[in-house]
């Protein structure tokens, strides 16, 4: 089991009351596994069914494997411009 840091922004940071989360993950976990872990937390039900996740500053597919040194962020619906 390793712990990954997940960066939060905007409405998601407000929902969890924090700019980041520390999530324990089994080796071999995927983005989808991580999302399920986060959705099981208090306030996790405020997230959409399939929130966008960035791994190493790129949008990641649900089946992408997560490494212990990856930079991970949960990305709320974007509204730049």
Residues 6+ apart with CB under 8 A from 60: 31, 53, 54
At residue 74, the 3 state secondary structure works out as: strand
The binder of other proteins chosen from 3, 10, 18, 61 (CB under 8 A): 10
Residue 6 C-beta-side C-alpha neighbours within 13 Å: 26
Nearer to other proteins, 19 or 24 (CB): 19
What is the nearest approach in angstroms of other proteins to the Cβ of residue 48? 8
Counting residues that bind other proteins (by CB under 8 A) gives 20
Q: Which is nearer to other proteins, 2 or 56 (CB)?
A: 56
Point out which residues pair with 4 in neighbouring strands. 23
| Interface positions, 44-63, toward other proteins (CB under 8 A) | 46, 54, 57-59
Residues 75, 5: Cα–Cα separation, whole Å: 14
**Residues at the interface with other proteins (CB under 8 A):** 7, 9-12, 14-15, 46, 54, 57-59, 73, 75-81
């Amino acid at each position: 089991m390793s712990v990954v840091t997940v960066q939060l922004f905007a409405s998601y940071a407000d929902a969890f009351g924090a700019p980041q989360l520390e999530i324990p993950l089994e080796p071999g976990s995927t983005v989808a596994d991580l999302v399920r872990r986060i959705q099981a937390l208090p306030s996790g039900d405020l997230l959409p069914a399939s929130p966008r996740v960035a791994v190493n500053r790129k949008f990641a597919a649900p089946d992408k494997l997560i490494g212990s040194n990856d930079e991970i962020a949960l990305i709320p619906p974007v509204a730049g411009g």
